[in-house]
Structure 1
Amino acid sequence: MRRCIAIDMRGYNQTERPSDVSSYNLKYLVEDIRQFIETLNLKNVTLAAHDWGAIVCWRVVILHPSLIDKLIICNVPHPTAFIDLYTNSKEQRAKSWYVYLFQSSTVPEMGLRANRMKLFDITFRGEQAGIRNKKNFTDEDVLAWKHVFSQSGSTTGPLNYYREVFKAPPIPSKQQIVQPKVLIIWGDEDFFLDKKGAELSAQYCRDCRVEMIRGASHWVQQDEPELVNSLMEKFITEES
């Protein structure tokens, strides 16, 4: 019997929101997932994640490969592949401008809340950064996100992820190569991440498959849910 467990990471929605910025360092985010798996005594685990969840799950698999059977990543490169990409691509450096904005205190929170949280409309439904298939992320969906992030203190936790990202512990060189099987699903019109990151990531995996989804945005699972679900199901059910 298979179970699907969806996790709200620390600082999101109704989870605990530590007040110390350092509590959002990647070493603690990784530890949250490790403890979750071990506490529930989960076996044959497939981690599937997108965006910040994917950043964390790459590291979980790298640092604790014995806990994970397979990894599914949507539109986020392997951490070392991202460094390679950022170093050599002026396009990626330009796309990552907001990471530096989010390092400041207070201002990002004010920006997220300004003009009735207009930034959420731009991010999810805008013509450049947003989901291509608007019918898959409706006005009601945006309102649900705004409701969650309108609660007191709800924006600071997620922003603290960015404020701690440059303080993440380095990955030991001998652990760079991901050992479990990996499926990377990538929307090739990602506004935030260059698609070269997908192929670079495969170089840091022992066994990796890259599925490039044409015309899909960074939010590939919303743009093409049936295709993404089909790819995931096939990958999960096939023999290791």
Structure 2
Amino acid sequence: MALQREPSLSLVRLSEVTLNVASAGPKDGTLTILLHGFPEFWFGWRHQIDALAGAGLHVAAPDQRGYNLSSKPEGIEAYHLDRVADDVIALSDSYGAGTFDVVGHDWGGIVGWWLAARSPDRVRRLAILNAPHPDVLASYARRHPTQALRVFYFGAFQVPWLPETGLRAANFLAMRQALRLTSRAGTFSDADLKRYQQAWAQPGALEGMLNWYRALRLKHRSELKPIRSPTLIVWGKKDPALSPHLATESLKLCDQGKIEWLPGATHWLHHEEPQHVNNALISFLSP
């Protein structure tokens, strides 16, 4: 399922950073911010943008800070969860939206959880794709060593400069292989991976992307409190890195939440089963 047409791309200047944003849909529709994870950029939502816009939503899919054409501030402090969450609030303010919907995958989902807990007055609805609440992930990994082993790369990425060197080698071979080996066969085409390589090759992008992981060691307040916004969790059960139990544990924090399981999907469910994911999102987010 290919991207039907390229969305409108623009640079949105915020107080701290400038974000490259793909947008589509009616300007008077509900602002719906799509937040990608590692190692993607707005293009990771190529199967969702048209569908959500066609359902009447005003879609904005930014390259998050550190990625592709967005700003790449120096230092790991710039990638603290509060800082990246502030970008989303500032982006919604730039559109004049008092409230907005969030759809987040992977790191984008972690930012979504953080936003909904920290700024419940701003998040109208929250949709999460294979991303645990950050406090749930930490506590679950401590109690279940197998889960800690599944995310061993979190620790490997803490080393300065060496991960960048390894990931950049042979035209980002390790990253290309990671996408292909952790997804269903045929999910990422050669053309798709070429788009990703171009994003990864942007000056400062690899360091910025990895700084999201390095910022995990910074102190932050817990946001382990009820999520008031209506919440939909869509979870691919064959995710090689994240146990389905993380979804059920995260659901316990939601006042109004539900899980939709995709038994045959992996971590890359929105690429593998776009029609299923799109239908679930449209049903949940439609006003």
Instruction: Give the TM-score range, shorter chain.
Output: over 0.9
SS at match of 1:110: helix
What is the CA-CA distance between 1:37 and the residue it aligns to? 1.6
SS in 2 for 1:180: coil
Displacement of 1:181: 0.5
**Distance in 1 of aligned mates of 2:235 and 2:92:** 26
Which ranges of 4 or more aligned residues in structure 1 deviate by more than 3 Å? none
Question: Structure 2 stretches of 5 or more lacking a match?
Answer: 1-28, 30-56
Q: Amino acid of the residue matched to residue 57 of structure 1?
A: G
Alignment counterpart, residue 66 of structure 1, candidates 82, 98, 121: 121
TM-superposed CA distance for 1:58, in Å, is 0.8
SS at match of 1:4: strand
Matched, 1:227 2:279: no
Which of 123, 132, 135 does residue 184 from structure 2 map onto? 132
Q: 1:50-81 deviations in whole A, cap 9, x for unaligned? A: 01111111101110000011000000111222
Is 2:177 the partner of 1:85? no
**Corresponding residue for 2:227?**
178
Q: 1:169 Cα shift? A: 1.1
The worse-fitting range, judged by mean Cα deviation, of 148-157 and 195-204 is 148-157
Structure 2 residue corresponding to 1:149, chosen from 157, 176, 200: 200
Local SS of the residue matching 1:84: helix
The answer (yes or no) to whether the contact 1:81–1:204 under 8 Å persists in 2 is no
Gaps of 5+ in 1: none
In structure 2, what residue type is equivalent to 1:152? P
Distance 2:69 2:249 in 1: 36
Q: Match of 2:102?
A: 47
Task: State the 1:21 CA deviation.
Answer: 2.2
Higher helix content, 1 or 2: 1
Q: How does 1:150-229 map to 2 (within 5 A)?
A: 150-172=201-223, 176-229=225-278
Is 1:123 aligned to residue 123 of structure 2? Answer: no
Percent identity of the aligned residues?
28
Structure having the larger proportion of residues in strand:
2
Give me the whole-angstrom Cα distance separating, in 1, the residues matched to 2:286 and 2:148: 37
* Contact 1:26–1:168 (Cα < 8 Å) also in 2: no
Contact 2:114 2:223 in 1 (8 A): no
Q: What do you get for the CA RMSD once the two structures are aligned?
A: 1.4
User: What is residue 87 of structure 2 aligned with on the other side?
Assistant: 32
- Separation in structure 2 between the aligned mates of residue 143 and residue 172 of structure 1, nearest angstrom: 38
Please state how far the C-alpha of 1:137 moved relative to its aligned partner: 2.0
Structure 1 pair 172–99 and aligned structure 2 pair: CA distance change class (3 A):
closer
**TM value normalised by structure 2:** 0.77
Does the Cα contact within 8 Å between 1:186 and 1:212 map onto a contact in 2?
yes
Please tell me whether the aligned partners of residues 187 and 217 of structure 1 are also in contact (alpha carbons under 8 angstroms). Answer: yes
1:203-223 deviation per Cα after TM superposition (whole angstroms, max 9, x unaligned): 011111101101111111011
- The separation in 2 between residues aligned to 1:96 and 1:122, in whole angstroms, is 17
Partner amino acid for 2:133?
H
Amino acid at match of 1:16: S
Q: With structure 1 as the length reference, what TM-score do the two structures score?
A: 0.92
CA distance in 2, matches of 1:137, 1:108: 23
Q: In the comparison of the two structures, how many residue pairs are matched? A: 232
Q: Which residue of the partner structure matches residue 236 of structure 1?
A: 285
Post-superposition offset of 1:43: 4.3
Whole-angstrom CA distance in 2 between matches of 1:77 and 1:169: 17
- 1:54–1:172 CA distance, 2 compared to 1 (3 A): closer
CA distance in 2, matches of 1:168, 1:16: 23
Contact 1:27 1:168 (C-alpha < 8 Å) held by counterparts = no
